[in-house]
Structure 1
Amino acid sequence: MIRGIPMKAKIAVLAIFLILLPFAVAFAEDSTDGSSSASSGREPVLKIPNLSGEITMTGQTVGLIGNPSKYNEYRDNKENYFFGSVKLKYDDDKYWFYLKAEDIGYDTQHYKLDGGIYGIVKYYLEYKEIPHIYSLGDRTIFNGAGSANLTTMTGYASLPATRWNPIDYSVNRQQEGGGLRLDLIKPFYVEFSASRESRNGTRPITATNDSRNGPLTEFPQPIDYVTEVFMGEIGYITEPIFASAYLQYTDFTNNNENLYFTNISNSLGSSTDRSNAGQTDTLTLPPSNQNYNYGFKGSVELPLHSRFNVSLSGSDETSDARYLTSSVVSTTSNTPNPTYTYPYANGDNRWHGKVDNQNYSFVLTSHPIYFFDYSLFYKYNARQNKSDNPSATSSLENSVAYPVSYRKNNLGLDVSFKLPAHFILFGAYDYEKANNSIEYKTYTIPETTDNNWKVGLKWTGAKFMSAKIWYERMNRDGSNDYSYPLKTAFNSNATTGTTFDKLAPYKNLFDTGSQNRDKIKTRVNIFPVETLDIGLGYNYKRSTYPEATIGLQNSRSDEFYVDAGYTFGKYAKLNGYLAYEDLKMYSFMRVCTSTTTVNNCNPNSTTQDASNYNFDFTLRDKSFDYGLGLDVYVIPQKVTLRVQYDSVRSDGNADYTILNQAALNALGVPTAAIPTGQNNSNIDIPNMDLYRKNTILAKVMWNVTHNFSVALGYAFEHYHYDDFGYNNYPSTYTIVDSSGNVTYLTGAYSDPSYNASLAFLTLKYSFK
């Protein structure tokens, strides 16, 4: 091991060695050839045939008005920069390699080398950086940003936000790795690979400072993750049989599993005792974990043009974390005594997590006669959670969490028939049954059964057109079981009375509960002449939840799209696209107070007042994307002008309908701004995740010579974001509630709108 040298430097040295290796061997062969050197009376000459590549250099300048965070979210944050890329390819009868180097020296740099000796060995080396900028130019009341220990600034409460500590939220990801495949002893092969990914930086995170609904504090979460993956595989390949076995080990390390911060809430404890404010509190972060993944894959050819495939795999995931023995939250004493105690398993103070997964897949594909083929499959997936069952006793309430396990059985058949007149009829059916379990408890949805059908028709009977349409149907039985009523927060102290979730008998969890779903998809491709092609499509999807009394009732989406291209001889080419989607989700909801009787939580009850009432909620999201591009061949094969316009937009809104006037009045009394008080019009949300992004590009490309080209261009990008939750972001970065409690923000994600202008010049040299 070479210590003190960065991993990417080691990869670069090894890559150079592997690139030069075939040339060195070729030179050695040339120098020992009897027809060369002294025997021929001429000097040895090193020739590098079959070598090609390109070198690209780009200079770029950016003019930005507005928030740079969104524009540079996955870019290197520089206004003026010069970057280059290199591509090299070598290929002869024995050796080959392909080298790619992009954005050299920047936070988006990417290097990859593939190569090998035909029939003997293949290898690859790769290094890549991926930046993720969350938010720039923000402010925080905490010292120690980037570390796992955050303390408040002295006098932060009286300081303006402009005097808080500056903070940029960003995470840089570095990926490096390589692999090797040996085919020396055919029909056997062996593969090895190793990779490492590190993530470093900070991102915004928000937590409550007490057990209530507020106040909140936003602070920087340290990101210091390392993921290492090692994999080995051995296989056997012949004409009728393929078999392989593999083992993979993954290790995820979080160097900060706990974040310690000053709890600033002035509402801790009783109304007269706020002495706990300013104490150190703890927030748990993702724990380190390890994973062993192993498996077998194989296939064999059978008579009647058939093949049987099998895949058997499993994984063992483990993770340990230290129990928190105290928390400032909900403390009612002047002394920060532990408020949580755990019955430690095996006498230690750590939680031990373990999850085992098993996956089996068997697939038979066959084409017994020319007009018929089919695929029959069976899949089994089981997840057994063997983690500890942590239970806690606290001064507020007792709680217990139970590991969830499940198993799934999936059986299906796909068929296809060739019919006269160039029609193809295809269909499918699959049956899936899932069993969910919580140890020692009855699960809300213990079992789900899915029946899926699909039937479709494809036509290719004309040279100028093809068409395809298919229909899918899913029926899911969720088998809701409320023999064990849900309890809030798994509160083990709650055995009777008002702490039960009285809405539980009327809920239907939409992801696992009973559901009926219909899908229709169509696609038509038209190319009436050689220079014109058109694609049209429509997708329909509707889901209903028949057992849901409250919650999501149904959803529907309609999607239309068209794309087209036309070539004007040797002079120009026009391309365009348009896509529109309309999504609607309807929910029927019930509000009831925690102190009312169970009957008052029944949505079919006649009780409708300010504290117990029904309401409708409809969420609608419309997206509309379109674009148009034109290439003009000013001088064919020499000078090309490209103009492109793209537009992406999304409009979301939420419509609320409360049919009880007393409930409406409770939401807000008449004011000068709203003289009529709250009604079913002004309680709606007209702007939910509404955004616009428009881009214009103009570019001139000039092939100066066969090897050298120049591109000069300009691009303008406009982005506007409008959302009720982010609009009117407080300039003070603080929000004060009616009790005087203060929520402290940092400015993350505020006002992401921007206008960006970009000018660039690209020089490219190609050779063969």
Structure 2
Amino acid sequence: MIRIHRMIHLGLSLSLAFLAASAAAEMRVASSDLNIGGQKKSVAGSEERFQEYRDLRDGFLINDILLRLEGETSPYFMNFKARNAARADESYKVRGGAYGKWDIAASYDRTPHNYYTGTMILGNAGTGRLTFSDQVTRSYLEANEQTRQDRGSLARTDATLEDSLQQAVIRDLISGADPMSFKLQRERSSLSLGLNLAPEVKTWVKVNHEKRDGARPMGSGTYERYFQPFPNNATTHFEDQFVLTGTELVEPIHYYTTTLNAGGGVYKKGWLADVEYTFTDFHNSDRTLRWANPFRTTDAGAKSELGANANSYDRSRFVEGQLSLPPSSQSHDVVLSGSVELPLHSRFTGSLSYGLINQRELLAPYTLNSAIAGVNGAPANVTTEGATPVQRFNGEIWTLTQSYALTSRPIDSLGASLKYRYYDYKNQSDRIAFPGYAGFGESYWRTTRNDSGAPVQNDAASYTRQTTTLGVDYQLAQPLNVEADLLWDRYDHKQQRIDGTDEVGAGTGFVYKPVKVASLKGSYHWAHRTVQNYKGGATKANPEAKGLANFNWADRIRQRTNLRAELTPAEALSFGFGGQYQDDAYGAGDRFGYKSQKNLMGSVDASYDLSENFSVSANYVRERRKGLIQNAAKDDAFNLAGALDDDFAADNFNPFNYWNTEITEDVDTIGFEATLRPIPEKVALNAGYEFSESRMRFDTWNPNAEGATAAGEDGAKLLNGAAQVWPVVVNRQHDLRVGGSYQMLKNLKVGLNYLFSWYQVNDFTNNASYLSGASGENTTKLVRIGDKHYDYTAHMVGTYLAYQF
């Protein structure tokens, strides 16, 4: 892959050399621009957040280079553009050739993604193997493990004081670790050649290469449920307590994607047709991620409360864990497309695409935990690759895409369009039946995929999608245009927990412009999605809870309204007012899941352009997003008869433990821009300010709290099923930009800019590096990557010189 990357770089150099050699004697500089400068910044807090997708470095900068060459008496041309040269967000583009005959183009760019600075107690971050080299500390942590037998029935009770000892060690390790920055870097390069065999016949070849390199945080872990029974009744309980184990990891990103396109077409006045072949190769340098467990030096399996081999307690006791990473793959795609003009100002367009995606990745071992070998039917060689039924996964997916559109405008006031799209995703990958898998934190062998006894095998899910839309627009009168549209969208699934969905919709809209200085635009759309045979929960076909529906497959009614008014009372003055409302209602008959999402947005903007020497604009946007989720705490089967005992009475989600969560986010955004030229064509001043604040509120309640209280419970049957009060999450950002420029000469300008940026987030999920003691659960062996503080205060001053040749 690196070789391909270098070949494209070589192609860029050869392109420049070839263009220069072929036309140097006949070329002239049509235009050129150079922008250079320097800047200095000061950042207190998270520099990664401040520069999340950019590189604002100190020192000398080459901001922009533009060069355009034209042939004096020949059709040759060449354009070159560079931006942010020699920086992590640099880009270069060059294109040249002979007008109407041929052209060569090449490009290269980079984009950073900076996450945050954190601390890891594991080493070799960014590789496929995370290590923990301090074996003395590791042995001490293992020797002071508090097992289920040691702890007793209470998860949060430090019965032997070993939790405190382990917590102290982990805190020391985190405080002593060197901070590191977690980030990705994306590099893209391309080379293309276009050749016109005739004025109406074009051919092309393109090569694109993308490299992604870096380290991305990811989570891993499991939990243990401590059942708290009622006195003298071991079959029901009043609370669940939890022990959480896991390590926040760093996924190595070493992705290489190469794409080759080759095609040609005929482009006539009344019709056109072309064909293109695309080959894509995706290569991941890391098959798996392995990491050391700092709490273990020897493998051990999960246990019961009595210390026997079981899946309930003492999980995640492996020495080394593993995760499979995205596999390398290849794809082929052939696209045929065409278009033809028809009578009555009509046109028909269509495209047909066949595709194949395949991969032949080696399967990883079931686990690296040798302690579960032979336990509950696990193979004796469970830690070797040869233990799996096949050595490689034969993945093969065929796709067929058809898209057709008929548009017509028989008269000036009437237009219509009919569109149809068909997509077939056929998964012909091998279905592999496994004897089991390493579950429960890779510490126990499980022979079924879920509690309902589904066999352990992969699902080769396939589906087809058909979408048809019909649209009509009509000018009723000179100031009024109206439009209407219809929608039909159908999915058919195979080897999935649903047979399919049908969605029908309709919409209407208008544009009203009674006078030249005012206009009003609006639209309304309605759609209803119905579900065919969503398989019942808690079964082999669907392991989810009974009554829980994936919102992507749930019955849905969607309504969306848009309104926009614009007013220009004077040539220099304009106002705009906008609004949008969307209401999605999901799964009206489903017990659990995502139930609704309502979004409301209003905006106002104004601009005043007094002259070329003074302009000002401002805007304000208010958004409210409100979503509702219906949940429940897992419990025993219903043990109280009553009106709440419904079709799910044999299930283990008691209505007294239902709890709903409504998440409401309010966002205010203010923007201001101003430009002043006190000395026209010489001095220009500009200023801008942006403010954004987001407030996210979490409201939880038990819809059956009164019934639970009447039945003798304290607002819920389970203590952990009671509604909780959550803090409000607040994000605020201020950005102030001021600058000025002076036109020293006709082709020379200098400028000075200043940026102040301030960001603060108050989020209860990222304010602690080590959660032990910060929650109601036992998190002694849950280790995260340092504090995730994103706040910053930044100042930046920059100067530049812009010169036109």
Q: Structure 2-normalised TM-score?
A: 0.82
Q: CA deviation at 1:687?
A: 2.2
More moved, 181-190 vs 351-360: 181-190
- Alignment partner, residue 401 of structure 1: 458
- Alignment partner, residue 758 of structure 1: 796
More moved, 564-573 vs 692-701: 564-573
Partners of 1:733 and 1:161 lie apart in 2 by 13
- Whether the 8 Å CA contact 1:210–1:329 is kept in 2: the answer is no
- Alignment partner, residue 527 of structure 2: 474
1:629 correspondence with 2:670: no
SS in structure 2 of the partner of residue 20 of structure 1: helix
- Alignment partner, residue 694 of structure 1: 734
- Alignment partner, residue 147 of structure 1: 127
Q: CA deviation at 1:741?
A: 4.0
Question: Structure 2 residue aligned with 1:549, among 591, 596, 615?
Answer: 591
Q: CA deviation at 1:8?
A: 6.5
Q: CA deviation at 1:604?
A: 8.2
Alignment root-mean-square deviation, CA: 3.3
- Alignment partner, residue 577 of structure 1: 619
- Alignment partner, residue 367 of structure 1: 409
More moved, 706-715 vs 214-223: 214-223
Change (3 A) 1:590 1:189: same
Q: CA deviation at 1:127?
A: 0.7
Partners of 1:356 and 1:2 lie apart in 2 by 29
Residues 511-543 of structure 1 show CA distances to partners (whole Å, capped at 9, x for unaligned) of: 122111111111112112110122211111111
- Alignment partner, residue 193 of structure 2: 180
Partners of 1:370 and 1:289 lie apart in 2 by 50
1:82 correspondence with 2:76: no
Question: Structure 2 residue aligned with 1:517, among 552, 558, 561?
Answer: 558
Alignment of 1:234-245 (within 5 A): 234-245=264-275
Partners of 1:3 and 1:175 lie apart in 2 by 14
Between Structure 1 and Structure 2, how many residues are aligned?
Answer: 715
Does 1 or 2 have the higher relative contact order (CA < 8 Å, sep 6+)?
2
Alignment of 1:665-744 (within 5 A): 683-688=724-729, 690-730=730-770, 741-744=780-783
Q: CA deviation at 1:200?
A: 1.6
Residues 615-664 of structure 1 show CA distances to partners (whole Å, capped at 9, x for unaligned) of: 22211111111111111111112111111110122111110012245365
- Alignment partner, residue 44 of structure 2: 65
Question: Structure 2 residue aligned with 1:458, among 511, 520, 525?
Answer: 511
Gaps of 5+ in 2: 139-168, 226-242, 309-313, 437-444, 449-455
SS in structure 1 of the partner of residue 48 of structure 2: helix
1:202 correspondence with 2:215: yes
Amino acid paired to 1:270: K
Q: CA deviation at 1:754?
A: 0.3
Question: Structure 1 residue aligned with 2:493, among 436, 446, 452?
Answer: 436
Alignment of 1:129-278 (within 5 A): 129-136=110-117, 138-154=118-134, 155-156=136-137, 158=169, 159-164=172-177, 166-208=179-221, 214-265=244-295, 268-270=301-303, 277=317
More moved, 604-613 vs 563-572: 604-613
Partners of 1:457 and 1:229 lie apart in 2 by 43
Q: CA deviation at 1:232?
A: 0.4
- Alignment partner, residue 14 of structure 1: 14
Q: CA deviation at 1:574?
A: 0.6
- Alignment partner, residue 29 of structure 1: none
- Whether the 8 Å CA contact 1:585–1:619 is kept in 2: the answer is yes
Change (3 A) 1:3 1:275: closer
Q: CA deviation at 1:278?
A: 5.8
Partners of 1:58 and 1:435 lie apart in 2 by 58
Question: Structure 2 residue aligned with 1:424, among 463, 478, 481?
Answer: 481
Q: CA deviation at 1:449?
A: 0.9
1:618 correspondence with 2:662: yes
Gaps of 5+ in 1: 27-47, 492-499, 670-677
Q: CA deviation at 1:728?
A: 3.6
- Whether the 8 Å CA contact 1:734–1:744 is kept in 2: the answer is no
Question: Structure 2 residue aligned with 1:99, among 77, 80, 83?
Answer: 80
- Whether the 8 Å CA contact 2:320–2:369 is kept in 1: the answer is no
Q: CA deviation at 1:587?
A: 2.9
Q: Structure 1-normalised TM-score?
A: 0.86
Partners of 2:288 and 2:596 lie apart in 1 by 41
Amino acid paired to 1:447: G
Change (3 A) 1:185 1:344: farther
1:124 correspondence with 2:105: yes
- Alignment partner, residue 355 of structure 1: 397
Q: CA deviation at 1:592?
A: 3.9
Amino acid paired to 1:632: L
Partners of 2:30 and 2:573 lie apart in 1 by 37
Partners of 1:15 and 1:7 lie apart in 2 by 12
Q: CA deviation at 1:164?
A: 2.9
- Whether the 8 Å CA contact 2:772–2:778 is kept in 1: the answer is no
Amino acid paired to 1:437: K
SS in structure 2 of the partner of residue 229 of structure 1: strand
Partners of 2:269 and 2:655 lie apart in 1 by 73
More moved, 330-339 vs 58-67: 330-339
Q: CA deviation at 1:340?
A: 8.3
Q: CA deviation at 1:553?
A: 2.5
Change (3 A) 1:411 1:4: closer
Alignment of 1:35-50 (within 5 A): 49=28
- Whether the 8 Å CA contact 1:215–1:265 is kept in 2: the answer is no
Change (3 A) 1:740 1:514: closer
- Alignment partner, residue 90 of structure 2: 109
